Chain A
Amino acid sequence: METPDSTPPAQAEAETYLTGQVVPKASGSDQAEFDAPEADDDTTQAPSGPVWRFLYQPRWIAWHLLVFAAFWGMLWLGDWQYHRAMGGNGLSWAYTFEWPLFAGFAVVFWIRTIKDEFQQRRGGVTEADLLAAAMEQARATLPSGAMLPNGALPEGILVRMLEQQDAEEDDPELASYNAYLAKLNAEVKGHNKWLRELHS
């Protein structure tokens, strides 16, 4: 199927970039066969203008057009079902309400892709950076013995540890460890929204 992100990265020829900060790859972006508009690693340099300028890069325009067509297409289908329902096809009432719902969902999906992209470009940092920073801090404050594994900790694990602190308080050793994690959590809490939201 043809989605905007299966098109080759072509915006480099349309936009003039200043050399600048290179936004590193987002975590999980090694899933390569679909290259989403929001995570094109080798062309997402900081552009010279305001952040929102990515919105009229060719692949983003293609994405806007696709959503636009999908939205009106689904509204049109809803309208068609409405006329069928008025014509006596009682079954069409369900679809009369269903199609606009899907149209609304397309818009929600579209808005969230844009919000995600803004968030990534504004900060200039990715989730991987934030996780690495949190890991670094956690490592520096951990007592010896309670070690995190060296090197790569898979994504999501740290946050899950911090969030699951309040059950099984009967084991004193576990309870103290959990209290320690709670303290860590309080320290990390202000870092970024995604750290608190990202739970698995």
Chain B
Amino acid sequence: MRAAALRYRVMAYITGVLIIVVCFVGIPLQVAAHNTIISNDVATVHGFLYIVYIIVAYILARKLKMRVGPTVLLLLAGTVPIMTFFVERWMQRKYIGPALAAESATPPQQQPVSR
């Protein structure tokens, strides 16, 4: 769980930053200066990393037993600028935090192996 959550958060930040670069740097450059370097290259990288994001986020959603609505929201969050970060905070507060707290609530003698 901890590892899955970490993978998700890393991918959320990467895709979140990339989509912001594309939308707020790349597109203006393309429109204003007809410079397509950022919008093309970064958009392609974001496209591929978004696939990774979807896989990682979906695995996390299964582990957290999230319902359909939140899962769809989580998966789409990787494509909407800025929203990625809000969804990441929301995931942390609503799902990941409670799940991790539930894990570590075990008394020590019942936890033969601590990760």
Interface residues of A, Cβ cutoff 8 Å to B: 1, 3-6, 26-29, 31, 34-39, 63, 91, 94-95, 98, 101-102, 105, 109, 113, 127, 146, 148-149, 154-157, 160-161, 164-165, 167-168, 174, 177-178, 181, 200
Could you name 7 residue pairs across A and B whose Cβ atoms are closer than 8 Å? A3-B73, A35-B67, A37-B68, A91-B43, A109-B71, A164-B111, A178-B112
Q: Let me know if B94 and A31 touch, CB within 8 A.
A: yes
Q: Let me know if A156 and B102 touch, CB within 8 A.
A: yes
Q: Let me know if B72 and A156 touch, CB within 8 A.
A: no
Q: Let me know if A161 and B111 touch, CB within 8 A.
A: yes
Contact with B44, one of A4, A94, A155 (Cβ below 8 angstroms): A94
If over half of B's interface residues share one DSSP class (helix, strand or loop), that class is named, otherwise mixed; here it is helix
Q: Let me know if A98 and B112 touch, CB within 8 A.
A: no
Closest Cβ of chain B to A88, distance in Å, is: 14
What residues of B have a CB within 8 angstroms of the CB of A35 in the complex?
A: 67, 69
Q: Let me know if B47 and A39 touch, CB within 8 A.
A: no
Interface residues of B, Cβ cutoff 8 Å to A: 1-2, 40, 43-44, 47-48, 51, 54, 58, 63-73, 76, 94, 99, 101-103, 105-107, 109-113, 115
Q: Let me know if B112 and A157 touch, CB within 8 A.
A: no
Closest Cβ of chain B to A6, distance in Å, is: 6
Query: Known: A98-B51, A146-B109, A178-B112. Is A157-B44 also a contact (CB below 8 A)?
Result: no
What residues of A have a CB within 8 angstroms of the CB of B103 in the complex?
A: 154, 156-157, 160, 200
Q: Let me know if B107 and A3 touch, CB within 8 A.
A: no
Query: Known: A1-B73, A3-B72. Is A155-B67 also a contact (CB below 8 A)?
Result: no
What residues of B have a CB within 8 angstroms of the CB of A174 in the complex?
A: 112
What residues of B have a CB within 8 angstroms of the CB of A91 in the complex?
A: 40, 43-44
Q: Let me know if A38 and B99 touch, CB within 8 A.
A: no
Q: Let me know if B47 and A95 touch, CB within 8 A.
A: yes
Q: Closest chain A residue to B55 by CB distance? A: A105
What residues of B have a CB within 8 angstroms of the CB of A6 in the complex?
A: 69
Contact with A155, one of B48, B70, B102, B113 (Cβ below 8 angstroms): B102
Q: Let me know if A156 and B1 touch, CB within 8 A.
A: yes
Q: Closest chain A residue to B71 by CB distance? A: A109
Q: A113–B102 Cα gap in the complex (Å)?
A: 25
Contact with A28, one of B65, B69, B101 (Cβ below 8 angstroms): B65
Q: Closest chain B residue to A177 by CB distance? A: B112
Q: Closest chain B residue to A157 by CB distance? A: B106
Closest Cβ of chain A to B93, distance in Å, is: 12
Q: A63–B2 Cα gap in the complex (Å)?
A: 31
Q: A92–B81 Cα gap in the complex (Å)?
A: 21
